[in-house]
């Protein structure tokens, strides 16, 4: 049986740090949900946690297939936010290498997507929903259809 070895992973120093370093984002609560609700209310439609390219092993947090825009909501720690990105001192070399790989992978993903005509918007987890929505809608342009209330069905 194949199990992933977790023994190489050093323990985080304290609970606060452990939580801020957690990979597990609560996708359906909090700021990301606020961003999604606002975009939807503005008339934008998107896919959530979707692969923009079938042969690229990456899922966008929000994917606008028609306009070819991918939004990633990045954790400040894992993606080295310029304001909050830190390198833990404990096991520093291990973490530096790991985070370097993450950031390099982000850039490689952007290049692969750009080659196929996709644009990437990266939102930091610390950004307010207002700021995030402003940046996303700037990339998208106006929604294709204005929000409308209960369109009548064709008979």
Q: What would the two tokens of residue 57 be? A: 């092993």
- Select 12 or 81, whichever has its Cβ closest to Zn ion: 81
Query: Which residue of 3, 7, 11, 83 would you call a contact of Zn ion, by CB under 5 A?
Result: 83
Q: Which is nearer to Zn ion, 11 or 24 (CB)?
A: 24
x-or-dash string of contact with Zn ion, 23-62, rule CB under 5 A: ----------------------------------------
**With binding defined as CB under 5 A, does residue 124 bind Zn ion?**
yes
Q: Which stretch binds Zn ion (CB under 5 A): 47-55, 84-92, 134-142, 146-154?
A: 84-92
Instruction: Transcribe the chain into DSSP letters.
Output: ------TTSPPPSSHHHHHHT-S---TTSHHHHHHHHHHHHTT---EEEE-SSTTS---EEEEETTTTEEEEEE-TTTTT-TTT----STTHHHHHHHHHHHHHHHHHHHHHHHHTT-EEEEEETTS-HHHHHHHHHHHH-S-SS---S-PPPP-
- Give min distance, CB of 136 to Zn ion, in A: 17
Residue choice 19, 84, 96, 98 for contact with Zn ion (CB under 5 A): 84
Q: Which residues bind Zn ion (CB under 5 A)?
A: 76, 81, 83-84, 124, 126
């Amino acid at each position: 049986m194949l199990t992933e070895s977790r023994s190489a992973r050093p323990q985080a120093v304290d609970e606060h740090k452990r939580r801020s370093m957690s990979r597990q984002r609560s996708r359906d609560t909090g700021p990301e949900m606020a961003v999604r609700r606002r975009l939807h209310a503005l008339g934008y439609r998107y896919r959530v946690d979707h692969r923009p390219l079938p042969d690229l092993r990456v899922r966008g947090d929000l994917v606008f297939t028609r306009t070819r825009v991918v939004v990633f909501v990045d954790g400040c720690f894992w993606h080295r936010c310029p304001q909050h990105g830190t390198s833990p001192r404990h096991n520093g070399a291990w973490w530096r290498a790991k985070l370097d790989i993450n950031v390099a992978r982000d850039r490689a993903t952007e290049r692969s997507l750009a080659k196929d005509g996709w644009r990437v918007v990266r939102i930091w987890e610390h950004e307010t929903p207002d700021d995030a929505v402003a940046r996303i809608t700037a990339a998208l342009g106006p929604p294709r259809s204005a929000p409308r209330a209960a369109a009548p069905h064709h008979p």
